[in-house]
Amino acid sequence: MRIHKEGHQMLIILGVVLSSLNVGVFFATDSTNLIFGISLSLSLIIFLLVLQFFRHPKVHITATPYEVLAPAEGKVVVIEETEETEYFNDRRIQISIFMSPINVHVNRNPIAGVVKYVKYHAGKYLVAWHPKSSTENERTTIVVRNEEGVEILMRQIAGALARRIKWYVAEQDSVQQGKEFGFIKFGSRVDVFLPIGTDIKVAIGDRTQGGKTVLAELKS
């Protein structure tokens, strides 16, 4: 299992802290003491939970020019027509994917194209499913334009637990469909804003796989 680069430092620190804790418990009690056994078991569970959060599975991408792939693994919690006021300033179809702590937190490009806009916003840490989290929470907005001139907006949104948003693209970068553009630590959500009239292929409650699930099909 590959571990994402965002987890390397945290896992080392966590391993040192837990090891030190258990060494202290060992010498303070006894290697056969129930307290030491409980401490060791809990430490192992905690480490494995954090380890699985930073897993980075390989994904086979089948690139298609008209399909919009899911940018994240999680659950579809919003599909609605709404006013997008940061970049487009018009009506768009919003699809929101909620990522729980057990999901893979790699964020992937829904389409191939050129990055036209990147902006980070400091903000609040409302729960990710809160209606105002898309406009008031800490977030990063990224817009990609494909060869046909169609623009897709992705918004990484921090939640109550997720307080570290990472993005690896800049304006004018060329990006490939399904390739990684960012990472959000410890649960949150990603919004995708599509042109009105886009053929939506998912429903509320559907589970998605980043870079594999087809969210929608753009008009040719």
Q: What is the pTM of this model?
A: 0.79
How many C-beta atoms surround the C-beta of residue 28 within 10 A? 11
- Model confidence pLDDT, tens digit, residues 63-119: 688 899 999 999 999 999 999 999 999 999 999 999 887 887 889 999 999 999 999
The SS3 call for residue 160 is coil
What digits encode the pLDDT tens for the residues 161-217? Answer: 555 788 999 999 999 999 999 988 766 889 999 999 999 999 999 999 988 999 999
Residue with tokens 């980070």: 120
Catalytic pick among 39, 41, 188, 220: 188
HSE-CB of 148 using CA atoms within 13 angstroms: 13
B/e letters for 48-87, b = 16+ CB within 10 Å, e = fewer, are eebbebbebeebeeeeeebbbbbbbbbbbbbbeeeebebb
Backbone angles phi, psi at 219, to 5 degrees: -70, 140
Q: What is the pLDDT of residues 126-173, one digit of tens each?
A: 655 555 556 667 889 999 999 999 999 999 988 655 557 889 999 999
- pLDDT(60) > 90: no
DSSP 8-state class, residue 203: -
Active-site residue flag, 188: yes
Contact partners, residue 42, CB within 8 Å, separation at least 6: none
**Residue ranges of E strands in the chain:** 67-69, 74-84, 90-99, 106-108, 113-121, 139-145, 151-158, 165-167, 174-175, 180-184, 188-194, 199-200, 207-208, 214-217
Quote the CA–CA distance of 112 and 115 in Å, as a whole number: 9
Distance (Å, whole) CA 4 – CA 81: 34
